Structure 1
Amino acid sequence: MFDDKDLVVADGDYNRQIGQISIPAFGSFPLNIRVRKVLLQVVRELYQHKVQNDRNETAATTEDGMTESERGTVSRQFLFSLIRREHSTPTGEKMDLHLIIRPRIQARLRVLSGMTYANRPWGIIPAFKPVVAAGFATGAYGLIFPTLWKLSGAFELLRFLGLMIAAIFSIIVWIIVSHNLWERPAKSNDKFVRKLYNRTTIATLTVAVLCYYITLFVLFLLTVLLFVPPSLFQSLGGLKSSVEFWNYTKLAWLATSIATFAGSIGVGLENQEMVRNIMYGYRQNQRSKYYRDQQEENSNQKSN
Structure 2
Amino acid sequence: MDAPDRVSVGVLADRGLPERVIRAIVDDLPEGFAARVSAETRWRVEHRVEQVPLDEAGDIPMRALSQRHRQERGWDLLVLVTDLPRRAGSRPVVAGIDVEHGVAMISLPALGAVLVRRRTRALIIRVVRQLVAQRLGIEEDQGGRGVLARLREALAPTQRVVDGHQSAATHLALVGLRGRLRLLAGMVRDNRPWRLVPHLAGATAAAAGTAAYGVITSSFWKLADALSPLRLAGITVVAVVVMAAWLMVYNHLWDRPSETADRRKALVYNVSTATTLAIGVACMYAILFALALLAAVVLIDSGHLAQTLGHPVGVGSYMNLVWLSSSVGIVAGALGSSLEDEETVRKATYSRRERERQEGNRSQREDQPA
TM-score range (shorter-chain normalised) is: 0.7 to 0.9
Higher strand share: 2
Q: Find the counterpart in structure 2 of residue 11 from structure 1.
A: 96
| CA root-mean-square deviation | 2.6
The counterpart of 1:246, out of the listed 316, 322, 338, is 316
Secondary structure at 1:268 match in 2 = helix
Q: Which amino acid aligns with 2:134?
A: H
Secondary structure at 2:162 match in 1 = coil
Q: Find the counterpart in structure 1 of residue 250 from structure 2.
A: 178
Q: Find the counterpart in structure 2 of residue 60 from structure 1.
A: none
Q: Find the counterpart in structure 2 of residue 264 from structure 1.
A: 334
* Deviation, structure 1 residue 295: 5.2
**Aligned: 1:22 with 2:121:** no
**Aligned: 1:216 with 2:288:** yes
Q: Find the counterpart in structure 1 of residue 213 from structure 2.
A: 141
**Aligned: 1:79 with 2:158:** no
Higher helix share: 1
8 Å CA contact 2:88, 2:171 repeated in 1 = no
For residues 88 and 293 of structure 1, the distance between their equivalents in structure 2, rounded to whole angstroms, comes to 32
* Deviation, structure 1 residue 226: 1.4
Matches within 5 A, 1:61-210: 67=138, 69-73=139-143, 79=152, 82-86=156-160, 88-89=162-163, 91=164, 94=167, 97-102=170-175, 104-187=176-259, 190-210=262-282
* Deviation, structure 1 residue 211: 0.2
Q: Find the counterpart in structure 2 of residue 58 from structure 1.
A: none
Count residues in correspondence.
281
For residues 330 and 260 of structure 2, the distance between their equivalents in structure 1, rounded to whole angstroms, comes to 36
8 Å CA contact 1:14, 1:49 repeated in 2 = no
Q: Which amino acid aligns with 2:88?
A: D
Structure 2: tracts of 5 or more residues without a match: 1-85
For residues 150 and 107 of structure 2, the distance between their equivalents in structure 1, rounded to whole angstroms, comes to 18
* Deviation, structure 1 residue 94: 4.1
* Deviation, structure 1 residue 11: 1.8
The structure-2 alpha-carbon separation of the partners of 1:261 and 1:79, relative to structure 1 and needing over 3 Å to count, comes to same
Structure 1: tracts of 5 or more residues without a match: 53-66
8 Å CA contact 2:240, 2:281 repeated in 1 = yes
8 Å CA contact 2:126, 2:141 repeated in 1 = no
The structure-2 alpha-carbon separation of the partners of 1:244 and 1:236, relative to structure 1 and needing over 3 Å to count, comes to same
* Deviation, structure 1 residue 172: 1.0
Q: Find the counterpart in structure 2 of residue 277 from structure 1.
A: 347
The worse-fitting range, judged by mean Cα deviation, of 168-177 and 136-145 is 136-145
For residues 282 and 254 of structure 2, the distance between their equivalents in structure 1, rounded to whole angstroms, comes to 20
Q: Which amino acid aligns with 1:43?
A: V
